[in-house]
Amino acid sequence: PTTAIIIVAAGSGTRLGATAPKAFVGIDERSVLRHALDGVFAASPAQVIVVAPAGHEGDAESELLAAAGDRSDLGRVVVGGETRQQSVAAGLRALWGDITTVLVHDAARALTPPTQIDAVAEAVTADTGVIPVLPVIDTIKRVDEERIVAAVNRSELAAAQTPQGFPRALLESAYALADEVEYTDDAALFAAAGHPVRHITGSARAFKITTADDLERARQLLADMPG
């Protein structure tokens, strides 16, 4: 394949209130990371780099092997960093072969439909990044301590999801430039290097599991899923 998917799973998940890192918390009998990997391996064939928390490389390797089946030659585990950005950078350094498109995906978006992964990969061009977004449902306010400063025009806003897809060469040079600066996501880092980013429609199922409520929502979705 010429596409690689970097699954960042090196977060501690303190907001989830679990003892294990978030990637290894069970949703049903399968962990967050295992569900994310199942989604990635159900999409079109791609090189898969799992970025694991230090000390959990073996656990990540087991999940990768279980999800990959006979495609385990496409997968590799590396250790992440202190920030998400450092974890993505570690994933980029682990790419091998003739990869031209890189997707960066949060393991925490464990139930992301494989069709969303393919749609992002297909929309990436030689000079343009692509991210899935959803419209913002709530009315958003700008606040200053306890005071409401203003309502923000919702039609100008979108909530960014993953995977976020980029041409490899430009993403690598953007990461080299970003060295000292922390960006909110890969699209912001890529745009800061002067490259355009387009958006496609995301999916409610690609929500990020952050809190115990999110984990409950994921459990409910799986229980309601046919098959």
Least distance from C-beta 198 to ligand C5P, angstroms? Answer: 22
Q: Which amino acid is at 150?
A: A
Q: Say if residues 73 and 64 touch (Cβ distance below 8 Å).
A: no
CA distance 43 to 30: 19
Question: At 82, is the secondary structure helix, strand, or coil?
Answer: coil
Distance CA 198, CA 124 (A): 9
By beta-carbon proximity to ligand C5P, the closer residue of 81 and 113 is: 81
We find the least distance from the C-beta atom of residue 179 to ligand C5P, in angstroms, to be 16
Distance CA 154, CA 136 (A): 6
C-beta of 122 vs 183, nearer to ligand C5P: 183
Whether the ω angle into residue 163 lies within 30 degrees of 0, i.e. cis, is yes
First to last CA, the chain: 30
In the complex, least distance from residue 185 CB atom to ligand C5P, rounded to whole angstroms: 9
Q: Which residue is nearest to ligand C5P (CB)?
A: 11
**Residue 48 or 51 having the CB closest to ligand C5P:** 51
Query: Smallest distance from the beta carbon of 176 to ligand C5P, in angstroms?
Result: 19
Q: CB nearer to ligand C5P: give 10 or 111.
A: 10
Query: How near is the Cβ of 210 to ligand C5P at its closest, in Å?
Result: 5
Taking the least distance from each CB to ligand C5P, the nearer of 3 and 85 is: 85
Binding site residues, ligand C5P, CB under 6 A: 8-11, 22-23, 51, 80-84, 87, 106-108, 208, 210
Please choose, from the candidates 143, 144, 183, 138, the residue with its C-alpha nearest in 3D space to the C-alpha of residue 157. Answer: 138
